């Protein structure tokens, strides 16, 4: 895992029309904005992936600090974009699903509440109206 103070370098290579390969630290992922998506993601999908990943990891960390053991943890995120340009997200809904034999409801609610009040880089990119 890279040091959080080290810069992150992303390299995009266009290989066809609006199809790109993104490389980060020797790993790669495909980006696409055409109707034939194949295995690729759109940049807006990756934004939601980043948001879901950040919130999931933060909630996981908070739950561990509260000594809560989760047997299952899922985050589902849905975003609705404007129909007109600029097509930013008008709304984003995050749903958490956690299960554990000794999971306390108050601990889950506290972890989610703390996460929703903590600063997050993806959250700071969301346009508010």
Query: What single string gives the DSSP state of each residue in 41-54?
Result: B-HHHHHHHHHHHH
Same domain, 115 and 77: yes
Is residue 16 domain-shared with residue 48, that is, in the same domain?
Answer: no
Residues with Cβ within 8 Å of 87's Cβ and at least 6 positions away in sequence, in order, are 44, 81
**0.85 cut: is pTM over it?**
no
What is the domain count for the chain? 2
Say whether both 74 and 115 belong to one domain.
Answer: yes
Per-residue pLDDT of the chain (129 residues; tens, 9 = 90+): 556 788 989 999 998 888 899 999 999 999 988 777 778 898 999 999 999 998 999 999 999 999 999 999 999 999 999 999 998 899 999 999 999 999 999 999 999 888 766 555 555 555 454
**Under a CB-based contact definition with an 8 Å cutoff, are residues 70 and 99 in contact?**
yes
Domain identity same for 94 and 114: yes
Whether residue 2 lies inside any domain: the answer is no
Residue ranges making up the domain that contains 93:
43-124
């Amino acid at each position: 895992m890279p040091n959080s103070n080290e810069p992150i370098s992303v390299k995009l290579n266009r290989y066809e029309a609006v199809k790109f390969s993104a490389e980060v630290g020797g790993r790669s992922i495909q980006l696409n904005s055409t109707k034939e998506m194949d295995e690729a993601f759109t940049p807006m999908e990756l934004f939601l992936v980043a948001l879901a990943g950040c919130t999931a990891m933060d909630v996981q960390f908070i739950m561990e600090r509260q000594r809560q053991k989760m047997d299952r943890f899922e985050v589902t995120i849905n975003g609705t974009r404007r129909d007109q340009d600029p097509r930013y997200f008008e709304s984003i809904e995050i749903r958490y699903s956690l299960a554990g034999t000794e999971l306390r409801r108050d601990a889950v609610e506290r972890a989610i509440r703390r996460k929703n009040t903590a600063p997050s880089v993806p959250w700071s990119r969301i346009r508010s109206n």
